Structure 1
């Protein structure tokens, strides 16, 4: 069963030669804007296997000389697949780490206990506890050291690295501010191991990924100068949410404003990234600037939209001169003139716009994104969390209901970890009032209330984590039902799947499993929908959206040859974390001011996800604000390109199952 089909969404629209050129000449042309070597892989697993093979080669080379191999480790998201591969090599192929020393890149400071949510504890969990490394060869900053001793400790840490002969290979990730380690913007090229105060973005990252309610204000980190002394540096980056910072680090000049860009100055540093993280590189996003292109409809549309932005004109006003002066003469050769190309792309965009997302009955559907028949359709909307449906496609959801389609919503996860304890306390207050009003003699209910309220309010006693999570899941379930009622989805058409991968009780989730896929398959086989909507929002920082998408796509992959599926279309939506780029949009559903306001009201039914939501990500706006601004921006962009002016637009891309 194929469980990583989401990665194919990008691969299918980018010719392989753009990211894996066949010869040195083509590589030189494609990478002319890149100031550091870059290797692009289909996914994180393939890239990690390549880096693991390099590490093994260097380890064996040094060990054969009787020398210790010194490996610098990062504790972030970037190393997960790599560490898993190193553990596999140890367990299955006998790779020994007895002659390896590891250096932890950074550590939060201060920590009350050495292993309390520390990066070292993460590295131990991912790698060190599963291999035969000598504990004496694990070198990490001491996060519990007294404040007056920190400077001396940092100096001693540098000396310890030097005594080992320096770092042979340093692994890095990249932060949203372009930081490497905790060397944040402003860090100098000659900086050494030191205590550094964390900016607000780094503290938010700590809260998101390690579950700190009050993240530490500082960190002990290897300096840029220390990192640059490593004999070999490999920066790993995976995922769409890192594409912008990756491009800046690789293509913009080296600067203290963007510490990762200093890797351009190292004579043996490279970036190893997946196709999603490479999405903003010139050779991927604007290949016409560096090579002759393999033109298809979507790439032509991307080029024309880009050209409109460059010359500040709508599509139908572009001239031959505009094309020639911006490396797009190939399109003039293909179409004969700017006019012919302009008309084609204008019409393509015009045909994406529809007020009938389920198809318009008794209408010519030749140029419409959806079929007229069957009508009405059975529609199934998959929502990763219990609010992604209304955040991302609330207007379309209501439009489908109003146009008399049979609409079902399936919430794939409970979303229980995204509820603060305060929300339970608020609901317990209601329960207390209910007991006093209607069940004053119910001693069992009173006793349960007392136990739960003491634990949650005063942290007295103990109740099972599963009980707390169940209450939080119940809150999110109630909010989801309220939002569905508001847009008109019948309660009998609301499905809570509670996919097992999510139910760990922690931020860290399990990998996708057969059990997750079977739950999705069962619902699909029960409903046999004519339309499926799924979240294609792969920039979700916790990865839940990707796992949910992979579960649905794996189920579809199993069912695609069934008779009912021949009459089914799949549409991907975005909105919670990012929006589709206009050149990929295949269905654009316009919303009136009233419909946009109605969508906001549906999102507001999710009260636990307003100001107090713990996982708002790196965007300060609340989810309803993000949604409205993205929908308005999409509509404004259509208008700038010369199309009709709408209040807002929800956008969709069609997914065609891979054969």
Structure 2
């Protein structure tokens, strides 16, 4: 079973020479705007393997010399795949950690339960699986008395120096460009210290603590000065949600407002990233500014959209002078004039627009993104959580139903941990009152409701343990019925609503299991039952909790196992994006306009998910509610189409086709 097919999705054909130059001259040309040496790999797994291999080599060198290897580790998602590879090398290649000294880069403070500590995360992810001596692991204590913190920080720095300093420090980069927990405004001269977490930092830490309310007020973190004293610094970044931060870090000016740029001053700092995180580096996103290009339709479209935004002109008003003055003279040489390029790209983008996302019956479909036949189509919309369908493509979903397609919605996870306890208490109190009215002598359900209310109000302690099964059932049921109501409002038949409850999600914790055979089998069974002509899947791999990626991998793995089926050869798969970001213009292959009235219907469908309004535990880093994010994103897409000189719509939902890799 292939469980990571989403990592092989390449929306843009990026020539290998852009990220793996053939020689030193090409390297210097392509990277001349980069101020930190940056190694780009095709996937996070490849990058993680390279980091682990380098660390292993240095650990063994120190062992041969009879010296300790001092390694500083941060937490978060970035090093997880590196840790997995180090564990594999320990078990299969006899990599020993007996000479390794580990320093924890940061620890939350104050901590009421050690299970939520960063040290506990490092132990669970790496240290407990290798032969490191526990005495060689140093970390701030999240429960120490406040009066001891200053002296501890001073001694922590001394401990580091007593081992000859840090040999390697492994860092991720936060959404505020923080390294460790050194956020904007941090001085280059500060050492280990107590830092009060601002709202952005607390939101980022909420992934560890389930909700922002549970995040401690402070963190003890190595300072910028401590980090820069390390002999080698590796900055890791994976995924498109880090692309903007990586570009600022690597190509921007050194600034205290972007703390990660301080690494530009380090002689042996480097960034190790995947292609998705590299997307906004000049050599990847705007290669015409640093080298000659291998032009294809997507790259030309990206260049023209960029030129329109730079000049403030619509496509058909761009001139030869605009092209020449902004590094796009190659296109003039290829096409003869600005007009020839303009009309080509204008038509290309125009043909993405359709009011018939399932295909228009009895119509010429040669310039339409979807086929006219068969009609009506059997359609499955896969929704990772029980609201992603209406948030991401609520207008298109309603349009498909109105145009009489046989639309099914498959909710891949229960979404149960994303319901606040107050919501459960409210529903249990309602259930108790109903039992009192209609079934006063049957106390079974009422007693269970009272038990849950008592537990949530007076007994529950946030200690990192899985949620109780009864509570999870209530939370899952709340989301299930909200989803059913949202589907009904959008026009989906009750019998066409499927709740898959994929097992990987059902841990009762923020941390989920890896994708397994059981998950793929459930998706595969549904596909075989319906045999759709068209599928919609969540393609936004930058979702902040990782669930969308796992859900996409489940669908792609099922498709891969079914690709010999005749019906699948005639099925099209469209990827949508959620509340976090929209497809870039150069990727969009289907754009579905939404009228003001349809946008109002979409908002109402999203509002059916009441538990995901203001009190939802996982709203992410964005203060806007989901319906506001969706509307702002859809309106921005429509505005971009208008600015490029195309028709003006109220809003647009955009899609990219996933090309099923059939065996040849």
TM-score, with normalisation over the residues of structure 1? 0.98
Find the counterpart in structure 2 of residue 474 from structure 1. 477
Tell me how far 1:11 sits from its aligned partner. 6.5
Deviation readout 1:575-630 (Å, 9 max, x if unpaired): 32111111111000001000000000000000000000110111110000000000
Matched, 1:130 2:133: no
Is the Cα–Cα contact under 8 Å of residues 575 and 657 in structure 2 kept in the other structure? yes
Find the counterpart in structure 1 of residue 554 from structure 2. 551
Aligned residues: 658
Find the counterpart in structure 2 of residue 587 from structure 1. 590
Q: Classify the secondary structure of the residue corresponding to 1:10.
A: coil
Find the counterpart in structure 2 of residue 169 from structure 1. 168
Tell me how far 1:116 sits from its aligned partner. 3.7
Matched, 1:184 2:183: yes
Q: Report matched runs for 1:430-579 at 5 Å.
A: 430-459=430-459, 465-579=468-582
Find the counterpart in structure 2 of residue 610 from structure 1. 613
Q: Report matched runs for 1:243-262 at 5 Å.
A: 243-262=243-262
Tell me how far 1:296 sits from its aligned partner. 0.8
Deviation readout 1:465-510 (Å, 9 max, x if unpaired): 1111111100000000000000110010001111111111100011
Deviation readout 1:179-207 (Å, 9 max, x if unpaired): 10011111111111111111111111111
Matched, 1:596 2:595: no
Is the Cα–Cα contact under 8 Å of residues 210 and 617 in structure 2 kept in the other structure? no
Q: Report matched runs for 1:381-392 at 5 Å.
A: 381-392=381-392
Which consecutive residues of structure 2, in runs of 5 or more, have no partner in the other structure?
none
Q: Classify the secondary structure of the residue corresponding to 1:627.
A: helix
Change (3 A) 1:300 1:34: same
Q: Classify the secondary structure of the residue corresponding to 2:536.
A: strand
Is the Cα–Cα contact under 8 Å of residues 209 and 542 in structure 1 kept in the other structure? no
Query: How far apart, CA to CA, are the structure 2 residues paired with 1:45 and 1:535?
Result: 21
Query: Which of 649, 652, 660 is the aligned partner of 1:657?
Result: 660
Find the counterpart in structure 2 of residue 62 from structure 1. 62
Is the Cα–Cα contact under 8 Å of residues 11 and 42 in structure 1 kept in the other structure? no
Change (3 A) 1:655 1:82: same
Tell me how far 1:463 sits from its aligned partner. 12
Q: Classify the secondary structure of the residue corresponding to 1:66.
A: coil
Query: How far apart, CA to CA, are the structure 1 residues paired with 2:613 and 2:256?
Result: 36
Is the Cα–Cα contact under 8 Å of residues 10 and 275 in structure 1 kept in the other structure? no
Is the Cα–Cα contact under 8 Å of residues 483 and 609 in structure 2 kept in the other structure? yes
Matched, 1:121 2:124: no
Tell me how far 1:10 sits from its aligned partner. 2.5
Q: Classify the secondary structure of the residue corresponding to 1:108.
A: strand
Find the counterpart in structure 1 of residue 293 from structure 2. 293
Query: How far apart, CA to CA, are the structure 1 residues paired with 2:443 and 2:648?
Result: 62
Matched, 1:103 2:106: no
Change (3 A) 1:421 1:392: same
Q: Report matched runs for 1:395-406 at 5 Å.
A: 395-406=395-406
Tell me how far 1:136 sits from its aligned partner. 1.0
Query: How far apart, CA to CA, are the structure 2 residues paired with 1:201 and 1:406?
Result: 43
Tell me how far 1:141 sits from its aligned partner. 1.0
Deviation readout 1:355-387 (Å, 9 max, x if unpaired): 000011111111001111111100010000000
Deviation readout 1:260-313 (Å, 9 max, x if unpaired): 111111111100111111111111111111111111111110000000001000
TM-score, with normalisation over the residues of structure 2? 0.97
When the two chains are superposed, the root-mean-square deviation of aligned CA atoms in Å is 1.4
Which consecutive residues of structure 1, in runs of 5 or more, have no partner in the other structure?
none
Tell me how far 1:534 sits from its aligned partner. 0.3
Query: How far apart, CA to CA, are the structure 1 residues paired with 2:351 and 2:88?
Result: 50
Change (3 A) 1:201 1:130: same
Query: How far apart, CA to CA, are the structure 2 residues paired with 1:329 and 1:5?
Result: 38
